[in-house]
Chain A
Amino acid sequence: MLSLIVFLPAAVAVVVAALPARLPARLFVGAWIAAALADLALIVAAWVRLPVAGVGPGGYAFEVRLPWIPSAGISYHLGVDGLALPLLAMTAVLFLACGVFALRETRRVKPYVLLFLALQTVSLGLFAALDLILFFLFFDLSIVFMYFVIAGWGHAERARSAALKFFLYTFLGSLALLLGFILVFLAATPHTFDIVELAAANPLAAGGPYAALTLLAIGVGLAVKTPTVPFHTWLPPAHTEAPATGSAILAGVLLKMGTYGFVRIAMPLLPTSWRQYALVVLIVGVVSVVYGALVAFAQTNLKRMIAYTSINHMGYVLVGIGAAGIVAAGDAQARTLATTGALVQMVSHGLITGALFLLAGVLYDRGHTYELGAYSGLAARTPRFAALFAVAAFASLGLPGFSGFIAEFQIFTGSLPAAPIPVAIAVTGILVTAALFLVALQRLFLGPLRIPDAPGTPHAVSDLRTGELLAIVPLLSLATVIGLAPRFLLDLVEPAAATVNTLVAR
């Protein structure tokens, strides 16, 4: 079942690749939407069947394990638990939304659809992977495919250099990650890359400099992808130059690969070192929160602003998982809250920031610029766009009733006992994000009407079209459902978070 979920988009891609490129664009996008819908249905079925299917001895459901390179301890090993399944679902939802949004894409649609189908397979594969090399493979392929999306469908000449920067920076990070994986592999007897076996064996339980170096390599590799301060400078240009769908996937799915790696690999495989350096992780998180929010506040370009708020939001994740490693101070409930909050934040950020980037794409489509100063008074002309943007902005600033609050409240409450002063500083992040979104709303929507007068700009700014509505509304609706009735998600995440914490605390 998992293999089907992961490789369904790839299979569709193979079929699509065989079709001639001169067929109507809608056919290709339609194939993408159909694949994403089918995939989402499969994941929902897996979610529903999870209690029936039960988990294996390692704590994973729907496990598949086939020998791949047995001599090197590498196997094709997939499985899901409460950490992976919500992210799989979020990924499928986001790709579906991007597919619907892409219905109006006209530039070289066939390769575009092929790239996104490939991206979907590697993203789903990464969240289901239970082997370090398999994880690494998907991790690197995501970089490759995203490079082509940004370089090929970006906005301008600068897209090439932004894409190159993205590729080289994150690729360098992935090399550090590979180094860390090999260090773990060498420490284990028998040598293996299997995450479940490594977590059970805990080869680096003794700690020491070797384990610290391993954590550093894995940590830096994942920190580049997440990204955290100071490894984030590839993110703003990549977002600014990427097409709307590319930005949504980059922020919504690809950034989660970094944070998910911390929870899936760094915490269970290196528990001793994680506990030892948990405060460092937490402080890196706090710096990312405050720095990301403040720099976002100073931006005049909408996409750069949202990109920096992503750094801020990913900082909360690090605060939560860092606090989960400070075992001495917090009791089990606090650490469960912190880890659960971090997981919910990944899902929530995917939905909300995905919606925000799609909305930014709508703005670019109408005015051909992301500069906030170029617009004013759009609320009168585009009420639906204004309403959805306001909802997305309030969701992103952590208003209760949306998923962001569910995540951030748990992170703050669960982390404060472990490190009161750093967490108190991190809490101010929600104030700065509130200020920056209010300012953005004011600039774009209030005051006298002004739209950019650049060449090639359509004169009448039109409101959201049906396709755009159909892409964005479900994302925000899901964020609202999680915000008002989070139990369906938390019932899945909480046990898994508690398991991770147990692994860290041993």
Chain B
Amino acid sequence: MLLWLLIAVPLLAGALLALWGRRVDPLAPALGVGVSVVVLGLAVAAAFIGPVTDTALFAGIRAGFAVDGLSAVLVLTVAGVLLAVLVSAAGEQGLRTGRFTGLMLVFAAAMLATVTATGLAPLLMAWEVMGAASWALIGYHVCDPDAVRGAHTAFLTTRTADLGLYLAAGAALAGGVGSLSFEELPTAGAGWRELLVAGVVVTALGKSAQLPFSFWLSGAMRGPSPVSALLHSATMVAAGAYLLVRLNPLLGSVGWAGPLVAWVGAGTALGMGLVAIAQRDLKQLLAASTCAQIGFMILAAGVGSTGAAVLQLVAHAATKSLLFLAAGAWLSALGTKQLGGLAGSARRFPLVGAVFTVGALSLAGLPPLSLWVAKDTVLAATLAAPAPGVVALYVVGLAAAAVAAVYSAKALWFVWRPAAGVAQPPAAAEVEQPPAGRLSAVTGPPLVVLAIGAAALGILPLLGHGLLRPEPGPRWWELVVSAAVAGAATAWGWRAATRLPEPGLLHRWWDLEQAARLLLVRPVHRLAHGLARFDDHVLDRGVDAAARATVTLARQLDRRGEPAVDGVVRGVVDGARALGRWAQRPQTGQLHQYYAQASVGFAVLAVLAVVVLVVS
């Protein structure tokens, strides 16, 4: 019951708010915050009680939900960030609507269902609803064509990856796991299990914006900042990492899956970190860094360390939500998110500047902040993994950590740089929306709470147990090495902030979107138009031609066949008439002629009789 409430309350409240129309708008922010407080309460209760429930869904497939240790952490993270983001969004004029609040709640419900589902079927349902809610939220400002395009790209890219989950469900059934429940998946038959794992991995990488799917997150940045803070940092993009953690026994049952996942994670951490360095837009920088930081979670999932992945997930959720909300606060106050236009913003709004600094330093991996601990736990788990090539993975991970420090320092330097003149407005080219010039009163508290989280969540392994205390923890020299690397890289990044290279390829996110358009979208477009022409000009014309041929045949029959048939009939008639006329001839009515005819007749008969007699 508790679990159903946890999902149903935000779902129904959100659906009602989103569909009610504009009359509900004045109440929407308050209602949204109220509902999310209730959700947080339910989440806390669920985390302590650990409810389990299920219901019949399809033949032999049940929709099960449960809160275990892993789900409890995720449920609390989602509910907490939801509350912080909705409070913060209440301060943005354009977002104080039923549609926005409702969609955020629907999204949260889908995310809560995702992290509590115990089988592929309920997971897929929640998973895809999450994608659709993301589409509606990124494209929230319907008049902004870039936002709409970004929403389309995000939805279609993630749905492409989601096809993997449809195939995985079928493969599980074919492999003998009729229930599709997570616990039984590793027992799937050998050949089918490979397909099952491949489908799950592709889906997870797509949702988590890992290489080569990362590009959709760039377009998604056109959406409102609170959307980025909830969906594209703490929850939806982390869902892929969650899925891989949840299905770790399944990954382990197929030899190639773990190393593949680990290398994609490490590759994304480094590759997207480099992309982040090359960005000039604060939200783009943060988005690329999200891909990179989730890469660490994927790396942890690949080497089989559930605890390290979860720690990284929680620490990153607090840190990145904080940074996105701060970026959004500046965007609404100053009208820009370009790094060049944000000069002096941290000085002009010191509270936001302070919390942004905490977040950025955590992102840089500086001690004693949360991501420092989390990242080192991931790296320690990597080094301890019993697979070949872990040293190479560790080195790539450490390089990615250094890159993270550089882009964090770059962002910090730009926002702390003194504005050239006193209160000089940003250059016109950098203004993206009319600046409000001030911050709403509700912006501050959630930022402070998230900043405390970003700073202090690193102590979780000391307080926690089980899942939150991953074994092996980082050894002392690992902590020192990573702190030294992060410190040095931060210092260098700060000094070189304006001179950092921004090569076009990295600035354009490795041209992945262009590649997808060139290799997938355009051929499908061409094929579609070609088939449509075929349909109109060949198939349809063929049918029409068959109909016309029938008409032509009928006409020909009418013109040629009919006279012929008619001619035969007429011939018969004429023949009969001629015969009749001949038959009339002897009928003269004169007696002597009849006698003559009779005598001729008898003569013929007599001759015939003689001939017969002679012959016989």
Report the minimum CB–CB distance from B433 to chain A (whole Å).
18
Residues of B within 8 A of A (CB-CB), count:
51
Report the minimum CB–CB distance from B300 to chain A (whole Å).
29
Once A337-B58, A405-B128 are accepted as A-B contacts, the answer to whether A416 and B173 lie under 8 Å apart by CB is: yes
Report the minimum CB–CB distance from A14 to chain B (whole Å).
36
Partner of A431, one of B21, B160, B529: B160
Partner of A417, one of B55, B174, B528: B174
> B543-562 CB contact bits vs A (8 Å, 1 = yes)?
10001000000000000000
Q: How far is the CA of A445 from the CA of B129 in the complex (A)?
A: 21
Report the minimum CB–CB distance from B196 to chain A (whole Å).
11
Q: Does A424 contact B (CB under 8 A)?
A: yes
- Please state if B532 and A400 are interface contacts (CB–CB under 8 Å): no
> A420-444 CB contact bits vs B (8 Å, 1 = yes)?
1001100110111011001100100
B58: which A residues are within 8 A, CB to CB? 337, 340, 406, 409-410, 413, 486, 490
In this complex, the interface size class of chain A, counting residues with CB under 8 Å from chain B, is 35 or more
- Please state if A400 and B129 are interface contacts (CB–CB under 8 Å): yes
- Please state if B532 and A442 are interface contacts (CB–CB under 8 Å): no
Q: How far is the CA of A291 from the CA of B532 in the complex (A)?
A: 9
- Please state if A416 and B128 are interface contacts (CB–CB under 8 Å): no
Q: Does A230 contact B (CB under 8 A)?
A: yes
Once A294-B528, A294-B531, A400-B126 are accepted as A-B contacts, the answer to whether A337 and B169 lie under 8 Å apart by CB is: no
A413: which B residues are within 8 A, CB to CB? 58, 61, 166, 169-170, 173, 180
Q: How far is the CA of A423 from the CA of B524 in the complex (A)?
A: 19
- Please state if B527 and A399 are interface contacts (CB–CB under 8 Å): no
Q: How far is the CA of A490 from the CA of B58 in the complex (A)?
A: 7
Q: How far is the CA of A295 from the CA of B59 in the complex (A)?
A: 34
Partner of B547, one of A168, A334, A337: A168
Q: How far is the CA of A334 from the CA of B56 in the complex (A)?
A: 16
Once A333-B178, A412-B170, A490-B58 are accepted as A-B contacts, the answer to whether A438 and B532 lie under 8 Å apart by CB is: no
Partner of B170, one of A379, A417, A494: A417
Q: Does B156 contact A (CB under 8 A)?
A: yes
Q: How far is the CA of A340 from the CA of B61 in the complex (A)?
A: 13
- Please state if B129 and A230 are interface contacts (CB–CB under 8 Å): no
Tell me which of B141-149, B266-274, B509-517 binds A.
Answer: B141-149
- Please state if A291 and B160 are interface contacts (CB–CB under 8 Å): no
Q: Of A299, A334, A434, which is in contact with the most chain B CB atoms at under 10 Å from its CB?
A: A434
Q: Of B128, B167, B169, which is in contact with the most chain A CB atoms at under 10 Å from its CB?
A: B128
- Please state if A291 and B531 are interface contacts (CB–CB under 8 Å): yes
Once A295-B528, A334-B174 are accepted as A-B contacts, the answer to whether A430 and B132 lie under 8 Å apart by CB is: no
Q: Does A474 contact B (CB under 8 A)?
A: no
Q: How far is the CA of A270 from the CA of B159 in the complex (A)?
A: 39
Report the minimum CB–CB distance from B163 to chain A (whole Å).
5
The closest CB in chain B to the CB of A291 belongs to: B531
- Please state if A423 and B531 are interface contacts (CB–CB under 8 Å): no
The closest CB in chain B to the CB of A298 belongs to: B532
- Please state if A427 and B129 are interface contacts (CB–CB under 8 Å): no
Q: Which residues of chain B from 32 to 91 have a CB within 8 Å of any chain A CB?
A: 55-61
Q: Of A294, A383, A413, A415, which is in contact with the most chain B CB atoms at under 10 Å from its CB?
A: A413
A432: which B residues are within 8 A, CB to CB? 524, 528
Once A291-B531, A295-B528, A487-B56 are accepted as A-B contacts, the answer to whether A400 and B128 lie under 8 Å apart by CB is: yes
Q: How far is the CA of A416 from the CA of B178 in the complex (A)?
A: 13
A409: which B residues are within 8 A, CB to CB? 58, 121, 124, 166, 169
Q: Does A336 contact B (CB under 8 A)?
A: yes
Report the minimum CB–CB distance from B492 to chain A (whole Å).
44
- Please state if A434 and B156 are interface contacts (CB–CB under 8 Å): yes
Once A412-B170, A416-B170, A447-B143 are accepted as A-B contacts, the answer to whether A298 and B529 lie under 8 Å apart by CB is: yes
- Please state if B167 and A233 are interface contacts (CB–CB under 8 Å): no
Report the minimum CB–CB distance from A160 to chain B (whole Å).
14
B163: which A residues are within 8 A, CB to CB? 427-428, 430-431
- Please state if B528 and A233 are interface contacts (CB–CB under 8 Å): no
Q: Does B152 contact A (CB under 8 A)?
A: yes
The closest CB in chain A to the CB of B178 belongs to: A333
Q: How far is the CA of A230 from the CA of B148 in the complex (A)?
A: 36
Partner of B528, one of A298, A331, A434, A487: A298
Q: How far is the CA of A340 from the CA of B516 in the complex (A)?
A: 36
Q: Does B171 contact A (CB under 8 A)?
A: yes
A230: which B residues are within 8 A, CB to CB? 539
- Please state if A486 and B142 are interface contacts (CB–CB under 8 Å): no
Q: How far is the CA of A415 from the CA of B160 in the complex (A)?
A: 20
Once A394-B132, A413-B170, A447-B145 are accepted as A-B contacts, the answer to whether A337 and B156 lie under 8 Å apart by CB is: no
Report the minimum CB–CB distance from B576 to chain A (whole Å).
40
Q: Does B125 contact A (CB under 8 A)?
A: yes
A330: which B residues are within 8 A, CB to CB? 174
- Please state if B531 and A233 are interface contacts (CB–CB under 8 Å): no
- Please state if B532 and A295 are interface contacts (CB–CB under 8 Å): yes
B524: which A residues are within 8 A, CB to CB? 294, 297, 432, 435
The closest CB in chain A to the CB of B22 belongs to: A383
A333: which B residues are within 8 A, CB to CB? 59-60, 173, 178
- Please state if A431 and B528 are interface contacts (CB–CB under 8 Å): no
A445: which B residues are within 8 A, CB to CB? 142
- Please state if B159 and A420 are interface contacts (CB–CB under 8 Å): no
Report the minimum CB–CB distance from A312 to chain B (whole Å).
12
The closest CB in chain A to the CB of B60 belongs to: A333
Report the minimum CB–CB distance from A329 to chain B (whole Å).
8
Q: How far is the CA of A165 from the CA of B19 in the complex (A)?
A: 42
The closest CB in chain B to the CB of A394 belongs to: B132
B170: which A residues are within 8 A, CB to CB? 412-417, 420, 423
Q: How far is the CA of A290 from the CA of B539 in the complex (A)?
A: 16
Report the minimum CB–CB distance from A92 to chain B (whole Å).
26
A431: which B residues are within 8 A, CB to CB? 156, 159-160, 163
> A426-469 CB contact bits vs B (8 Å, 1 = yes)?
01101110110011001001111000000000000000000000
- Please state if B527 and A294 are interface contacts (CB–CB under 8 Å): yes
> B149-168 CB contact bits vs A (8 Å, 1 = yes)?
00010011001100100110
The closest CB in chain A to the CB of B126 belongs to: A400
- Please state if A438 and B155 are interface contacts (CB–CB under 8 Å): yes
Q: How far is the CA of A7 from the CA of B132 in the complex (A)?
A: 43
**Hey, which bits of chain B sit against chain A, CB under 8 A?**
19, 21-22, 55-61, 121, 124-126, 128-129, 132, 135, 139, 142-143, 145, 148, 152, 155-156, 159-160, 163, 166-167, 169-171, 173-174, 178, 180, 195, 524-525, 527-529, 531-532, 535, 539-540, 543, 547
Sample of 15 further A-B pairs with CB below 8 A, known A233-B540, A297-B528: A233-B535, A297-B524, A340-B59, A380-B143, A383-B21, A405-B128, A410-B58, A413-B166, A414-B170, A415-B170, A417-B170, A417-B174, A420-B171, A435-B152, A490-B58
Could you list some 21 contacts between A and B, CB below 8 A?
Answer: A233-B539, A294-B528, A298-B528, A333-B60, A340-B58, A387-B19, A394-B132, A399-B129, A409-B124, A416-B169, A416-B173, A416-B174, A417-B173, A420-B171, A427-B166, A430-B159, A435-B156, A442-B148, A446-B139, A446-B145, A447-B148
